[in-house]
Chain A
Amino acid sequence: MLIAHGGFDFAETFDRFAPLLADGGWRVVSWDQRGHGDSAHAELYSWDADLRDAVAVLRSVTDKPLPVLGHSKGGGLMMNLAEMRPDLVSAVINLDGLPSKRSVPDIADHERSKLMVQDLTNRFNFRRHAHEEVRRPGTLEGLAERRGRMNPRLPTEWLQYLVSVGAKQDDEGWRWKLDPSMKFGGFGPNRPEWGLGRMAGLQVPLLAVLGSEVEEMSWGTKPEDVEPWLPYGARFEPLEGVGHFVHIEQPRLIADMTLEFLG
């Protein structure tokens, strides 16, 4: 099976979870998406480019349809892959990659347009100097602590492990391998909830898992946002008391669920 990591993550974020699938009898293959982990820092990044990269990886593994699993952005990518190339996919498992309508603060229209100007200005300013960007160095513990602010539910030991594989050390300290020209935010015409529309058209077996605890990286999606879009026969598992990183918080539970689903 092919498994896809989330945005700003890398394949080793499955190091706790994937071996449990392998113990269940699966050969599990993942890759660092362009700009992430040990993959090349690309000239351009886009959703469609990530999809094509996924197909390239998939073709390097097998010429038969196979199950695909993805977390967060990876879950959305795998659902889109199953729609774009249904001939290549036999099942989809989506781990908390179910964005719904963006929650927009209740502000007056003129305030919103000011915010947008500021967002655009910041974005353009960043792009003008993106080629000069470098990742800020720090200690292994410091990088783990910084990441912990975005992933507050994950244990310190795990975050420190992630630094040891997702960052590299030079004379000045540890730096994330992630392409420094990649940045949260940006703008574009695609709306988060469009992924749910794609989900409705999937014909292959689907397991969708939703972490219900809202945290920094969550989409804030509620079960009732997802249910109307589930294709016939899909299995939907909203999990109480679990955050966005369902496979890191509950690796045994998610692995068992996946293995049972795949039979």
Chain B
Amino acid sequence: MITLTHNKISLALHLLQEGSGPTLLLAHGLGESSPDSVPPVAAGWIGSVWALDFTGHGASTVPLGGGYTCEGLASDVDVALAHTGPATILGRGLGGYVALLTAGGRPELVNGLIIADGPGIAGGSTGPSSATWIDPAEYGVAPDRFALAELSIDVRPPDYATSFARLLLTQSPLEVPLVVTAKNRTEWLDAVAAEPGVITEPLIEALARFS
């Protein structure tokens, strides 16, 4: 495990497989953490496989008093990319949405983004909503209760999500830089999947495309 610094957070980045060829970076779902080994679906990947624990998850720092945003986690992914170099990102649920935000700003570092099913794929409302009062009894353990609460209600307007998809689609040198494999669709993901140039296919095929 490698420890990276993102402001006051220590991020845990795990090397699951060392190999030559394209690099794969796994971004887990809400409440999850990095797997101990390469997931079976990615068994055919011959390059290196890294997995990142987001802030408040796995072996990364659990901050005091919450304050989570997907935009903040997008920098977690960017800090990981600074270490791994250009990589294909397989994002599960929340990790797929967060990696979309990163990919929009770092198209040169993302050799394909796969948005897959997983916890936290829905997010919260697509428009303004009431704030939620949370007062968790358990502090300091991963997954952080603040993360579970805050990142399951974050606002995800479809036009906001598609603006990042368009940045990736227009700036990436790849012919197909963005694949949606998730079957569980909410408004933001439907809008992203409908963008011209975005491919929808099974996860195993998406991984084969980028490997």
Interface residues of chain A, those whose CB is within 8 Å of chain B, are 34, 41-49, 51-53, 55, 80, 83-85, 113, 116-117, 120-121, 123-124, 127-128, 130-131, 181, 186-191, 194, 197-198
A-B contact pairs, 22 of them (CB 8 A): A34-B67, A41-B8, A42-B63, A43-B7, A43-B61, A43-B63, A43-B67, A44-B63, A44-B69, A49-B66, A84-B130, A84-B131, A85-B133, A113-B170, A116-B167, A120-B167, A123-B75, A124-B102, A124-B105, A128-B75, A190-B128, A194-B128
Please give 9 more A-B residue pairs, beta carbons under 8 A apart, in addition to A44-B66, A52-B134, A127-B78. A34-B65, A44-B72, A46-B69, A52-B66, A84-B132, A113-B166, A124-B75, A128-B78, A194-B128
Residue of A nearest to B74 (CB): A124
The docked-state distance in angstroms from the alpha carbon of A130 to that of B76 is: 12
The docked-state distance in angstroms from the alpha carbon of A121 to that of B105 is: 6
A48 & B66 in contact (Cβ 8 Å cutoff): yes
**Selected interface stretch from B25-33, B34-42, B156-164:** B156-164
A53 & B150 in contact (Cβ 8 Å cutoff): no
Query: Using Cβ atoms and an 8 Å threshold, which residues of chain A touch B134?
Result: 52
Query: Using Cβ atoms and an 8 Å threshold, which residues of chain A touch B72?
Result: 44, 46
Query: Using Cβ atoms and an 8 Å threshold, which residues of chain A touch B191?
Result: none
A117 & B171 in contact (Cβ 8 Å cutoff): yes
Contact of B67 among A46, A186, A198 (CB under 8 A): A46
Asked whether A130 and B7 contact (CB < 8 A) given A117-B105, A189-B155, the answer is yes
Please report the total number of B residues contacting A with Cβ < 8 Å: 43
A190 & B63 in contact (Cβ 8 Å cutoff): no
What sequence of 0s and 1s flags, for each residue 44-73 of chain B, a beta carbon within 8 Å of any chain A beta carbon? 000000000001000001011111110110
Contact of B106 among A34, A47, A124 (CB under 8 A): A124
Closest 7 CB pairs of A and B: A120-B105, A44-B67, A43-B63, A49-B67, A127-B75, A194-B128, A130-B7
Which of B5, B7, B104 has the most A CB atoms < 10 Å from its CB?
B7
Asked whether A187 and B71 contact (CB < 8 A) given A44-B66, A197-B128, the answer is yes
B7 & A127 in contact (Cβ 8 Å cutoff): yes
Minimum Cβ distance to chain B for residue A88 (Å): 10
Q: Verify if B15 is at the interface (C-beta below 8 Å from A).
A: no
In B59-118, the 8 Å CB interface with A consists of 61, 63-69, 71-72, 74-75, 78-79, 82, 102, 104-106
The docked-state distance in angstroms from the alpha carbon of A85 to that of B82 is: 42
Residue of B nearest to A123 (CB): B105
